[in-house]
């Protein structure tokens, strides 16, 4: 063979070997989503006395349902767990990796409780169980409870025992690897068995956790996985959902690998010219002998969709690390990125991101590889201005959101969450508070990509209880591992700017005793992350009490502006803590039902909902004039008037962005809340345009309310309000002026409170700085004549997860929305897709979300559609209604989302 050919093949072989060393085998780390192939059953076998409770729970003698949302939490009830058959001693060791002091870690008792239970046996016939795909919420299918308690939890049966089973095929070639089960969220008190042996579990339903399956795996065989959940009643103040409602993963690694959440990126020096990126990588050695390894990292820029772009922008030199048997060690290094692209919130900044690709090598072989996404940015809280991001003052225009996705329930869906964020962004929202628990990890990926600022919150209660069986039962044992789990999982997300260790906890009332608990939690945060400040939302603690002094940033709920907290507590907090930023972490809590206008309308700027004054206890609807609030809250108008008088306030997080399941203040006979700026279906209430006028003041628009179709109100006073950022407005009724108004100081709407209704047209003209700004018109509509159907996206992925949201409107013959229409509708789906759910935003509707039949609510309804997995083609969605022309829309499904 000629020497040139030999040299050619030799060079090629060397290049291929170099690629293996550099890139590593594809199997260095396998992280497999196990969302299919599950069987589910509710309850225990007939006649079973399973004895599988985590702990002894207090007896519930009185339901907390309907309890005032800001009621004072109570002391825990003592229980005697001696001689009880409980799993707690076997579950507690699951937390050991997240307990800092080795002396406080737990020793697993001998034995495997539950090993004789039929549902954990490989031979058990589960063919009659329900076949489910994760994420799965067992409660969202209902039926709704029309009587009895649990309106606070959404009138959906989320409580009870649920079992999930799945076979894991782990080949013999995986022998010698470490095998982990990673659960992003399980509601709640989860316990896991593999091959009949108890592996471990996790009580808190909102946290992600890892279990080591390796000692229980039968390599080369089918492995029977069984997961039991025990979701208590009276365990939440809102709808918690039930089940494996987030993703579950099987992770396989070499014994020497990056620890769970073991890569930590910080950026200690940032400027427009250069940024120092520091990376600490914790390495686990699950082997029986001392291990020597090397850690190397390459940094890449990401595009707007999170994909790597171009060549590496920097690298961190290889660092040797020696890890003891069954031990850990950390390798640290840093690199400089020239002219870094900073992460920041739109519209003035761009949420640029990078990824650190870390490889662990032994003997020239890559044994592990992980990717860590991060952003480069600076944040600082200033007591006079609030948050400063990359040197720019950003005022929080935020909302609170609970974790349910409306008609989809608690089962997380990335597209549904993305749609919510898109709707909020269009309104001017730049921040989200995770109320009141760690979110799905995919939600933080979205906030990173879209540029939202985030308050990540861990607990709604500490040792004192809000409902009889809430988190307070496990707080003493689990507060440290649960808090560390959230911090370690989430600390690389650039969108997170504050860590909140609690929400309206009962320890506000217990003076120094409560503050001591707060100090302990804050210390844990500082041990895990020194780059962000701490907070805890307070609705009772006053400036002279101990708890506010514990945290770095003061998060105040309603005390600045709530009806029960007059006068405002802001000046007192400002005087007592002049060096701390003050943030309105729950503002407003205004209430309304979309499209429901009740008369008479008070002249006040804010009022509590009462019968005949904002609320109708018969229909259980709340007026959409957007003047009414919960007893502890207030309208947006009142919040802003006080905010503008305290300009050092860092901004607000409105309660809430969307209506949510449960906590239906003021009518606990309903299914969902009234506090959203958007309703449960994602349709904007009138309040949406009020916030738009505040948060996007350069947007030229005028929004009129109410509608102008009032048969029977002829000659009666029907106030007209207009939301706009203009400073002057004139209203016309059928061409007759009702007066030209100038915006008064600390006023945020134009209102003509003595307009007499007459059918026809109302029109508003507005001006700003003396120049024409915007106009708007409403006309009296005719009878419902036809339907329209509009999809938010007409092309979706054929993966069985991507969704299209179809808005259905009831129109008159002229194409105007019939604002009072309650037309019965029927949805049919043909082609390679299926109907997932319907809704209409009516908080009082008990029609199952999965029903294809639903009335319009004030002229609108929603249908949610997905493609069948692997399907391609056109999905046709047809909507029919009584006495109206039908409508249809086509959705193309394939491999890509648009």
Q: 625-676 pLDDT, tens per residue?
A: 999 999 999 999 999 998 999 999 999 999 999 999 999 999 999 999 999 9
Q: What percent of the chain has pLDDT over 70?
A: 96
- Catalytically active residues, by annotation: 504, 586
DSSP 64-92: -TT--TTPPPBPPPP---TT---SHHHHG
Q: Would you say residue 819 has pLDDT above 60? A: yes
- 529 touches 484 (CB < 8 A): no
Contacts of 643 (CB under 8 A, 6+ apart): 560, 561, 584, 649, 652
- 468 touches 234 (CB < 8 A): yes
Q: What percent of the chain has pLDDT over 90?
A: 90
Question: What's the mean pLDDT in 365-379?
Answer: 97
pLDDT in tens, 562-605: 666 667 889 999 999 999 999 999 999 999 999 999 999 999 99
Peptide bond into 143 cis (omega under 30): yes
Contacts of 475 (CB under 8 A, 6+ apart): 459, 461, 462, 463
Collapsed DSSP state (helix, strand, coil) of residue 667: coil
pLDDT at position 508? 96
Contacts of 618 (CB under 8 A, 6+ apart): none
Confidence of residue 27 (pLDDT cuts 50, 70, 90): low
pLDDT in tens, 683-739: 999 999 999 999 999 999 999 999 999 999 999 999 999 999 999 999 999 999 999
Q: Would you say residue 360 has pLDDT above 90? A: yes
DSSP 847-886: S-TT-SEEE-BTTEEEEEEEEPTT--EEEEEEEEETTEEE
pLDDT in tens, 104-138: 999 999 999 999 999 999 999 999 999 999 999 99
**Other Cβ atoms within 10 Å of 109 Cβ, number:** 11
pLDDT at position 844? 97
User: How far apart are the two ends of the chain, measured CA to CA in Å?
Assistant: 54
Please state the three-class secondary structure of 517-551 as a single string.
HHHHHHHHHHHHCCCCCEEEEECCCCCCCCHHHCC
How, if at all, do strands 396-401 and 308-323 pair?
unpaired
**Long-range pairs of 73-79 with CB within 8 A, sequence gap ≥ 24:** 73/461, 73/464, 73/465, 73/466, 73/472, 73/504, 73/505, 73/506, 73/509, 74/464, 74/465, 74/506, 75/464, 75/465, 75/506, 76/463, 76/464, 76/465, 76/472, 76/473, 77/465, 77/468
Longest dimension (CA), the chain: 104
Question: What's the chain's average pLDDT?
Answer: 94
- 332 touches 279 (CB < 8 A): yes
Q: How far from chain centre, in Å, is Cα 605?
A: 31
Taking the model in full, what pTM does it have? 0.95
Please state the three-class secondary structure of 339-389 as a single string.
CCCCECCCCCCCECEEEEEEEEEECCEEEEEEEEEECCCCEEEECCCEEEE
pLDDT at position 24? 34
Q: Would you say residue 47 has pLDDT above 90? A: no
Phi, psi of 524 (to 5 degrees): -60, -45
Question: What's the mean pLDDT in 136-156?
Answer: 93
pLDDT at position 148? 82
Contacts of 866 (CB under 8 A, 6+ apart): 796, 800, 801, 802, 803, 804, 833, 834, 836
Q: Would you say residue 67 has pLDDT above 70? A: yes
Q: Would you say residue 506 has pLDDT above 80? A: yes
Distance CA(709)–CA(712), nearest Å, equals 10
């Amino acid at each position: 063979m000629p020497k040139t050919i030999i040299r050619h093949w030799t060079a090629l072989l060397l290049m291929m070997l170099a690629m293996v060393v550099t890139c590593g085998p594809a199997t260095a780390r396998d992280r497999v989503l196990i969302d299919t192939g599950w069987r589910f059953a509710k309850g225990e076998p007939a006649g079973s006395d399973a004895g599988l409770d985590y702990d002894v729970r207090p007896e519930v003698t009185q339901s907390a349902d309907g309890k005032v949302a800001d009621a004072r939490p109570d002391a825990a009830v003592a229980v005697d767990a001696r001689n009880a058959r409980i799993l707690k001693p076997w579950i507690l060791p699951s937390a050991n990796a997240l307990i800092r002091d080795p002396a406080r870690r737990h020793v697993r008792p001998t034995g495997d409780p539950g090993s004789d239970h039929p549902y954990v046996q490989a031979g058990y016939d589960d063919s009659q169980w329900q076949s489910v795909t994760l994420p799965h919420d067992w409660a969202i299918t209902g039926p709704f409870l029309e009587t009895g308690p649990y309106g606070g939890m959404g009138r959906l049966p989320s409580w009870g025992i649920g079992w999930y089973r799945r076979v894991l095929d782990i080949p013999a070639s995986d022998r010698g690897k470490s095998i982990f089960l990673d659960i992003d969220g399980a509601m709640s008190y989860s316990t896991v068995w593999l091959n009949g042996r108890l592996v471990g579990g996790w009580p808190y339903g909102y946290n992600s956790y890892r279990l080591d399956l390796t000692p229980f795996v039968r390599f080369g065989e089918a492995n029977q996985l069984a997961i039991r959940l025990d979701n208590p009643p009276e365990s939440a103040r809102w709808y918690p959902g039930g089940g494996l409602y987030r993703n579950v993963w099987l992770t396989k690694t070499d014994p020497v690998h990056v620890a769970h959440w073991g890569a930590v990126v910080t950026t200690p020096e940032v400027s427009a010219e250069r940024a120092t990126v520091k990376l600490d990588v914790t390495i686990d050695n699950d082997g029986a002998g001392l291990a020597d390894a090397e850690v190397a990292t390459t940094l890449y820029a990401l595009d707007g969709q999170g994909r790597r772009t171009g060549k590496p922008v920097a690298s961190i030199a290889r660092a040797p690390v020696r890890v003891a048997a069954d031990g850990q060690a950390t390798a640290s290094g840093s690199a400089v990125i020239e002219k870094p692209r900073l992460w920041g919130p739109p519209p003035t900044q761009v949420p640029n991101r990078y990824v650190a690709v870390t490889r662990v090598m032994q003997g020239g072989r890559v044994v592990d590889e992980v990717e860590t996404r991060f952003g480069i940015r600076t944040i600082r809280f200033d007591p006079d201005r609030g948050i400063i991001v990359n040197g720019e003052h950003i005022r929080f225009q935020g909302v609170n959101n609970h974790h349910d996705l409306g008609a989809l329930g608690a089962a997380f869906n990335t597209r549904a969450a993305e749609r919510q964020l898109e709707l909020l962004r269009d309104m001017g929202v730049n921040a989200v508070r995770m109320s009141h628990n760690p979110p799905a990890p995919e939600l933080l990926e979205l906030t990173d990509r879209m540029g939202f600022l985030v308050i990540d919150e861990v607990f709604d209660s500490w040792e004192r209880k809000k409902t009889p069986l809430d988190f307070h039962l496990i707080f003493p044992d689990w507060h440290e591992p649960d808090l560390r789990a959230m911090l370690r999982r989430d600390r690389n997300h650039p969108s997170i700017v504050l860590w909140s260790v609690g929400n309206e906890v009962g320890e506000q009332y217990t003076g120094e005793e409560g503050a001591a608990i707060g100090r302990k939690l804050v210390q844990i945060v500082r041990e895990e992350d020194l780059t962000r400040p701490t907070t805890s939302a307070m609705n009772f603690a006053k400036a002279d009490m101990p708890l506010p002094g514990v945290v770095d940033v003061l998060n105040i709920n309603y005390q600045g502006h709530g009806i029960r907290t007059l006068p405002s507590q802001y000046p007192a907090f400002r005087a007592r803590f002049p060096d701390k930023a003050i943030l309105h972490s729950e503002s407003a809590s205004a209430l309304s039902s979309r499209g429901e206008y009740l008369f008479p309308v008070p002249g006040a700027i804010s009022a509590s909902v009462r019968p005949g004054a904002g609320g109708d206890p018969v229909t259980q609807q709340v007026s959409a004039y957007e003047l009414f609030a919960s007893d502890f809250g207030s309208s947006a108008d009142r919040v802003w008037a006080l905010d503008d008088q305290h300009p050092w306030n860092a901004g607000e997080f409105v309660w809430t962005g969307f209506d949510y399941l449960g906590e239906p203040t003021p009518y606990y006979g309903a299914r969902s809340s009234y506090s959203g700026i958007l309703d449960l279906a994602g349709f904007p209430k009138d309040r949406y345009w009020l916030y738009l006028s505040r948060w996007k003041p350069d947007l030229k628009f005028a929004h009129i309310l109410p509608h102008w179709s009032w048969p029977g109100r002829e000659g009666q006073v029907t106030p007209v309000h207009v939301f706009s950022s203009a400073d002057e407005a004139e209203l016309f009724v059928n061409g007759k002026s009702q007066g030209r108004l100038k915006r008064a100081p600390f006023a945020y709407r134009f209102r003509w409170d003595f307009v007499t209704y007459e059918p026809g047209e109302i029109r508003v003209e507005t001006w700003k700085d003396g120049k024409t700004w915007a106009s708007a018109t409403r006309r009296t509509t005719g009878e419902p004549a036809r339907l329209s159907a509009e999809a938010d996206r007409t092309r979706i992925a054929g993966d069985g997860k991507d969704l299209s949201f179809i808005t259905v409107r009831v129109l008159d013959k002229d194409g105007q929305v019939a604002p009072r229409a309650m037309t019965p509708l029927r949805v049919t789906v043909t082609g390679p897709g299926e109907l997932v759910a319907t809704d209409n935003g009516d908080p009082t509707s008990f029609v199952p979300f999965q029903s294809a039949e639903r009335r319009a609510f004030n002229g609108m309804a929603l249908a949610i559609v997905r493609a069948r997995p692997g399907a391609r083609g056109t999905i046709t969605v047809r909507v029919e209604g009584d006495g109206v022309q039908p409508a249809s829309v086509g959705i193309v499904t394939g491999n890509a989302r648009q």
